[in-house]
Amino acid sequence: DRGYVLQSGEIVLSGSGKDLLANESVRKAYLGED
């Protein structure tokens, strides 16, 4: 399975869920900060 991160309708990042969760920018933007 793959996930995609969109910004203004454009795919800016794609990868497995594990890869996306490992990306600090994705975590901050979509999951908030710890």
pLDDT for 11 beyond 70: yes
Kindly report the pTM of this predicted structure: 0.65
What the block records as the tokens of 27 is 């975590």
pLDDT in tens, 20-32: 999 999 889 888 8
DSSP 1-34: --EEEEETTEEEEEE-HHHHHH-HHHIIIII---
CA distances (Å), origin 27, targets 8, 14, 21, 22: 18, 14, 6, 8
How many domains does the chain fold into? 1
Which domain, by its residues, includes 34? 1-34
